[in-house]
Chains A and B, each alone.
Chain A
């Protein structure tokens, strides 16, 4: 099951639509990290609203995605974690440390807009956009 990745302005949005195997996850990671520079995206949103289980491998992969994307100069936010999923993740010690999370897609977009606005101001005159 491939995860569709859409480009929306300066952001990439990956919406997970059903449970993913480990291979699917790895593929998602590679595609995202690869595409980020192709489309010169400034942020990535991974929407996991449809997932009712997020296991340790998925958590680790998501964290890896976030860290790799940061190294490639963009930001990642994970959105749509269900309340029950969130609590069972925490129970298992999977806290997605150092990764931004938001309630849903809308919040995630707002988060990226706010944080990249800051970035643009910081690096004023940056040719990009």
Chain B
């Protein structure tokens, strides 16, 4: 960890590791001493810059305190794991509240700014000394900024991936309506990935539920392109290899057109106008007969 920092320093100023280490020690001592004041200043700047607007003043102050302490600690130890973990925790807490990437990057850069200013103020009389301290400070500060920003973005990406997964799961429910009869209502556009998932769910559903007939309702699908149409036809054929019949219902005129254009073999495709018709047809195939046991409850008196 510390080697990169040392390299950066040695290449510029002649004295080596000890100088950097002592400079950092001095720096850390200074930051510890000025803790209350610098933290205050930083929190004020955050509010002024209208960052973290989703949080209250007290929350900002509390977070600022722990970020500050973690920051100083990272400078002192030269290890970033603790800071990384903290950044991830922080992101987990603040992302659901709508904090944006630019805000997180913004506050870290603000802190960097505040600290640099304080260093200028302290060493402005001795330019060599200031240089020495900055040489130690800058690379470390950059790493810290990167660590926090990357931690935040990674957390965000993780959440996005999770949500995508959840949406995908939700988008193709496989429901059993009667023994050996499944329905798959599909709503929304089918892209190639969703088509693949649909096939998987349908074939797996047939296996696990020992289904004989599957009603695939695509009333909610506005259109499909020909690769997806082909995929759909293949799914129907694959289901037959598992011993199940697929009834497709609710084809829109556009989808019918697409299917005709790709020259689908209508002998293989079992299609019925709407979901009700599809279920009735499925019941017929399974040998069910729905009988009215009594008249439906009469009109209100």
| Chain A contacts to B: CB under 8 angstroms | 78-79, 81, 83-84, 86-87, 89-91, 95-96, 101-103, 107-108, 111
Contact = CB atoms under 8 A, between A and B. Distances in A.
A108 B199 CA distance: 23
Given A89-B241, A90-B241, A107-B243, A83 B234 contact: no
User: Lowest 4 CB-CB distances: which A-B pairs, in order?
Assistant: A83-B203, A102-B243, A86-B241, A86-B238
B234 A101 contact: no
Contacts of A86: 203, 238-239, 241-242
Main secondary structure of the interface of A (DSSP, over half): helix
Contact of B210 (A78, A91, A107, A108): A107
B237 A95 contact: yes
Nearest to B240: A101
Given A83-B203, A86-B241, A101-B241, 14 more contacts: A83-B200, A86-B203, A86-B239, A87-B235, A87-B238, A89-B238, A89-B241, A90-B234, A90-B238, A90-B241, A96-B241, A101-B240, A101-B242, A108-B243
Contact of B234 (A87, A96, A102): A87
A87 B239 CA distance: 8
A103 B242 contact: yes
A103 B243 contact: yes
Residue from B207, B235, B241, B243 having most chain A Cβ neighbours under 10 A? B241
A96 B242 CA distance: 11
B52 interface: no
B206 interface: yes
